[in-house]
Chains A and B, each alone.
Chain A
Amino acid sequence: MARTWTFAAVSAAALLSLSALAQQESQGTASLPDFSGVWGNPYLYGIEPPLSGPGPVVNKSRRPQTHDADGRRVTATNPPLVSSAIRLVGDYSNPILNPAAAEVVRKHAEMSLAGLGYPSPRNQCWPEGVPFIFTNSAVLLLQQPGRITMLYDEDHEVRHVRMNAPHPAQVTPSWYGDSVGHYDGDTLVIDTVGFKLGPFSAVDQFGTPFSQALHVTERYRLIDDEAARAAWDRGGRENSRNGLGIGEGWAPDPAYKGKGLQLQFTVEDKEVFTTPWSATKTYRRAFRDWPEQVCAENPHKYGTEKDAAVPTAIQPDF
């Protein structure tokens, strides 16, 4: 992009072109939202079911919530029963699933109920794809001219989004798909198609499959602190707290009362789902700076009862 700018700057005519380009790109940017900085969510895996309408597959295996978002122990007599982090039993009766997909989820659930782990992009160190990658706890969203770069906290995953550009007529399938975006008022909208079907392909931790028809739309916008807390309350009735103490995991900065960042996403795949479904993930300012998390180190295990069958590379790259 810088080369585009530079080239445009070498002549007066190019200045006019640059101005025209600016007008083209500035559509809706008068109030361009600033999403910069580290955003975190302390829940595992932080996906919040929608207030209404079809939602994601959730975990049938539950346990009492032990800590709130700030890391304080939950003292209620009847704490909410939330997703068990060590037993992933996807609700295959969710009506969003067509019969074949429900069977795939059921088989994964049976493995988990039998005390077996199953391989996933996360535990096998493969690219997670979209929307699986939203299960990461933190994101850095870098707004640049002509593109958005998104960094995720687990295993150095990176996504690239081309701004104000269409998908190619022929999309080459890739791990993170072909993502294009634009600003719609105060909202960043990202449209992604063209996903590669690879080992451990799934849209979530429950093994929910996808096909080449997968289409994901993301909408990012800033919301006020009260709304962000309300979303976390909702998420905290579904997801377990990741890192239990105050300041552990992606705990929020207690001094920060500013905006939160909310991702609202819609997933469509007519080969897998009976209907489009949606969910949110809400981020707030993190308590800490960006850490390195290297999948191959296995430092963030959560105690799956037995080892997944880990494949090995069949040839060296060099």
Chain B
Amino acid sequence: MSVRLPSLWLALLVVAAVPDALSQDIAPVLRPAGSDARSAAAVPDFSGVWAHPYFPGFEPPASGPGPILNRSRRADGVGNPNQFVGDYTNPILKPQAAEVVRRHGEISLAGGTYPTPSNQCWPSGVPYIFFQHGMQMLQLPDRIVFLYLRNHEFRLVRLNQPHPAAVVPSWYGDSVGHYENDALVIDTVGVKTDRPFAMLDMYGTPFSAALHVVERYRLIDYADARPAIERNSKENIRFGPAIQSLVFDPSYRGKHLQLAFTVDDDGVFTTPWNATITYSVPLGSWEEHVCAESRLGYFSTGKEAAVPIADKPDF
């Protein structure tokens, strides 16, 4: 089993062991943003393939305001992945947003499926995209690149830069980040609202132009990850033994990567709320998964969503 070491120790070992030529190869990935020696020593190593084998929602926090959960439960009490009935009574929702969530839940209760970014092959946006089961983080000197397993989605984060004075709304928003000791902190604003299927989770929870998401990524020991994993297991179903090309290792006890995120949107929510996504290290390989192929048709109700049709070609 692999064990993740503190990056500084690892970096020292690598420097001691490898010729200059190879360290040139490594440098673009491990070198931190900017030329600041202080941050260089502190850059944690988040590289590799990470898996989050749960569906469909976010991990509720240990305490405080949390995300929308599923009112439809299986016999064992876990959220029903075949019926998305968002809890519109969650006090984080303003009345208008609660009504949107309630209407989506009614469609699901009636046995229907409603269109979402993930079943219509549109970009997921943030924080919706955190549902993805596979993620890779590429740490470049001036950027972070997130690769997500499904439908070749990726996000780019500029390091050590401010948001522009006037942000042009985009699908994944304007993301800037920096390292804060052992954590990578990413701040995202400017997520496009005038788009089809604008929602921030699979329950249809809306968002406005005021959406502000802060992500904090940190490596943690299994013992520290376990409470969030157990909370999640009571809320979301766990895939097993594999989903898509990633095979989950239930005996993995090495370092976990935890994303703790805060969502703030005074156009929709009464208060900021928090959730986590706890990633483990999978077996298996990173393969292509193309939404348009529709070969990932799990958890469908068996009824088709209203699939929109492009009304004109690009060329």
Contacts and interface: CB of A to CB of B under 8 A. Distances in A.
Interface residues of B, number: 72
B90 interface: no
Interface stretch (A70-78, A91-99, A122-130, A265-273): A122-130
Interface string A295-318: 111101110100110101111111
B37 interface: no
A2 B45 contact: yes
A256 interface: no
Please report whether the interface of chain A is mostly helix, strand, loop or mixed according to DSSP.
loop
A9 B5 contact: yes
Given A18-B18, A23-B19, A122-B315, A36 B140 contact: yes
A302 B314 CA distance: 6
A313 B292 contact: yes
Contacts of A6: 2-5, 10, 45
A149 B140 CA distance: 12
A142 B138 contact: yes
B309 interface: yes
Q: Interface residues of A toward B: which range?
A: 35 or more
B18 A126 contact: no
Interface stretch (A153-161, A229-237, A243-251, A275-283): A153-161
Main secondary structure of the interface of B (DSSP, over half): loop
A120 interface: yes
Contacts of B113: 316, 318
Contacts of A41: none
Interface in A1-29: 1-3, 5-10, 15, 18-19, 22-23, 25-26, 29
Interface stretch (B57-65, B67-75, B259-267, B282-290): B282-290
A149 B17 contact: no
A119 B292 CA distance: 14
Residue among B141, B195, B297, B311 with most chain A CB within 10 A? B297
Contact of B292 (A23, A125, A145, A298): A125
B135 to A, nearest CB: 13
Interface string B300-311: 100011010111
A293 B170 CA distance: 9
B10 A9 contact: yes
A23 B19 CA distance: 7
Interface string B165-201: 0000011100000000000000000000001100000
Given A18-B17, A296-B310, A317 B123 contact: no
Contacts of A15: 13, 16-17
A32 B26 CA distance: 11
Contacts of B122: 294, 296
A316 B145 CA distance: 28
22 contacts: A2-B45, A2-B48, A5-B14, A6-B4, A6-B45, A10-B5, A23-B19, A30-B21, A85-B315, A88-B315, A123-B314, A143-B28, A144-B28, A157-B152, A158-B152, A298-B310, A298-B311, A304-B315, A313-B120, A317-B119, A318-B118, A318-B300
Given A3-B48, A301-B313, 15 more contacts: A2-B48, A9-B14, A15-B16, A22-B19, A26-B18, A26-B22, A29-B25, A122-B314, A122-B315, A149-B147, A300-B314, A307-B312, A310-B313, A314-B304, A317-B118
Interface of A: 1-3, 5-10, 15, 18-19, 22-23, 25-26, 29-30, 32, 34, 36, 85-86, 88, 117, 119-120, 122-127, 140, 142-145, 149, 151, 156-158, 160, 174-176, 198, 205, 290, 292, 294-298, 300-302, 304, 307-308, 310, 312-318
Closest 6 CB pairs of A and B: A316-B119, A2-B47, A26-B21, A123-B313, A22-B18, A22-B22
